[in-house]
Amino acid sequence: MQFCMLIADLALIFHRAFGLLAAVRTQNDGRMSGHDEYKSGGKLDSEFDHYQMIQVSFPADMDREIVVAGNHHHLIDIAPDASMGAPAGTTDGGEEQVGTGCGGGGNEKKWLRKLTSATVNTAVLRDLISRTPMLWYLGERTGTIFRPCARREPVEALHAVRAVAIGPFHRADRGLPFPDDAKLPFMRYLQDQCGLDVDGYVAALSLERDRLRDEFGADDDSDAAAVEILDNEDKLLEMLLLDSCFVLVVSLMLSKTGTGDAADGVTRAASISKDYFILHMAVGQHADDIKLDMLVLENQVPFGAVKLLAASCPGLKLRSSVEELVLGCFDDMCPKRARRGGDSVAAGGEFHHVLHLFHWSRVPRDKYFVLSTPRTQLKIKKESERLFPCSMELRRSAVWFREASSCCGDLDMWFWRHPASPVAVMSVPCFHVHEYSAAVLHNLLAFEKHFYWAHGAGVTAHVARMEGLVRCPQDASMLRKRGVLASTRRTDTELVALFRELGEETVGARLPDEYGEMLDAVAWHRGRRVSGWCGGFVLHFFPSPWVAVSLAAAAALIFVPSMLQTVYTMFGYFNSS
């Protein structure tokens, strides 16, 4: 009996042992099959290989704009898990220490390494850029001088060159008053009068060739002629030399800075020479067209080349900076310069070209910047779709327009209201519209459309507000009477068409916070019943200022004689008593 029980116990032990061995073998087979499947290329490996094959070419300023400061390898930092005891390893295919702890630590670190790979993250961000319209500028050319495109249809003002071709895009244009051959006397003038060292200047340009070349954004398909010039070192240096000489000499002739009593000795001495007289007359004949050509976005030369040229002229002793000299050419052009007390041009940093300098001098200080934060994306999108109320609608809501001082420039606007007052005041500097205003504003809008993230959107915000205020001829007529709008050559209907055309370029554009804040303030004021009653009463009973004057005169004619008669009667009564 005991022998039988012993045999049964041994059979049970062997049965359990064989079962345990079978379970261990099954687990090992599962691990090996999973490892083989991982090595054979699963979904994660295929995605990793796919992203590794993508060619990534970020613009030069990509790190500055989106990469975290000081983090040049990871676009997204993932801190190591404390439970692992060590970092996950390298990110770009380097060797790592694979742990042998329980739970498959080695495989876990492998997939974590794939997730933290800089190559994968870079490719994913590149894909996000291509699918995010607001980040289109990061995926396209990085130059600051290129051919802009309008939103609706080609705008001639963006591409029209009238007198001179500056830069590579209009080099082949015919019939211009100042072709390349006509720029040689400008260089000769700097040699004779300012001591220009041409060899030294060209050597300095050669050292800065790559940086200056990157300022131009040329498309190989549509700008073949420009690409040919930019890729040829000799042609590039020749273009920079001639265009820089032309811009500097024209600035000396047309600038209101450093002329008259404040003129430097070189300019006064050169004014009596025959060559200077010929150049001055030729430039003066086409002065207006030259200044407009200098403000075309695709017709620019890097401003760094102009500053290098001024530094290479030992006889050129300016009383102000080169930036102030160039800005002096546009003192008689609208929009007027925003006069900033105590501000200097050096506060604007490095300028890319003349249009960039002109834009900086016209926009208000420390306003109308665009911040790209996730919390404001939806709000900004909604604000860009809201229209500013027209002038007649605001007048019905007891909003009075007042001409503001132009000490802060022509591209600003203020709205004042008080909860206890039914009346609000909108102060707007007088906006003068000339024949050239459309061309200048189109190029300023194109500049902001591409670089609002760095230089703000002051012109875009002002044009969007003016497009809303001037929606019909009655609006334009009323703003003329208030001194807010002025134009001698355009009718009210033409002004409406102008702002409507400019407003098309602001549709869907990124607008600063000041625009939305003013919209909210105006909407709150228009929502008050007392403001509507006050505005309606004034429009109904006092539609014209002459009505108020007439009522005041009638009241004076009625009440003043009555009061005088009453006073004399009282005096006679007191005297008799």
DSSP string of 458-517, one letter each residue: HHHHHHHHHHHH-SSHHHHHHHHHTTSEE-SS--HHHHHHHHHHHHHTTTT----HHHHH
CB-side exposure of 68: number of CA atoms within 13 Å?
Answer: 7
C-alpha–C-alpha distance, residues 557 and 479, integer Å: 33
Over range 290-309, report the average pLDDT: 94
- Assess contact for 357 and 220: CB atoms under 8 A: no
pLDDT for 237 equals 95
Q: What does the DSSP assignment read for 122-152?
A: HHHHHHHHHH-GGGHHHHS---SBS----SS
The Cα angle at residue 347 between residues 345 and 351, in degrees rounded to 5 = 65
How confident is the model over 210-230, as pLDDT tens digits? 999 988 986 655 678 888 899
C-alpha–C-alpha distance, residues 105 and 224, integer Å: 56
pLDDT for 126 equals 76
**Whole-angstrom Cα Rg for the chain:** 36
pLDDT for 224 equals 80
User: Which whole-number Å values give the CA distances from 571 to 137, 556, 564, 576, in the listed order?
Assistant: 85, 22, 11, 9
Report which of residues 405 and 347 the model is more confident about. 405
Q: What interhelical angle do 529-541 and 513-526 show, nearest 10?
A: 70
Which tokens belong to 26? 């099954």
C-alpha–C-alpha distance, residues 126 and 124, integer Å: 5
Residue 114 has pLDDT above 90, yes or no: no
414-416 β-sheet, strand order: 399-404, 424-429, 414-416
How confident is the model over 122-134, as pLDDT tens digits? 788 777 776 665 5
Share of the chain above pLDDT 70, in %: 67
How confident is the model over 245-272, as pLDDT tens digits? 999 999 999 987 754 444 444 444 445 6
Q: Which of 318-322, 396-400, 472-476 has the highest mean pLDDT?
A: 472-476
C-alpha–C-alpha distance, residues 428 and 431, integer Å: 8
Residue 73 has pLDDT above 50, yes or no: no
Over range 439-455, report the average pLDDT: 88
If one counts every other C-beta atom within 10 angstroms of the C-beta of residue 34, the result is: 13
Question: Could you tell me the pTM of the whole model?
Answer: 0.72
* Average pLDDT score, the chain: 76
Question: Could you tell me whether strands 414-416 and 424-429 are parallel, antiparallel, or unpaired per DSSP bridges?
Answer: antiparallel
pLDDT for 5 equals 61
Which tokens belong to 476? 């334009």
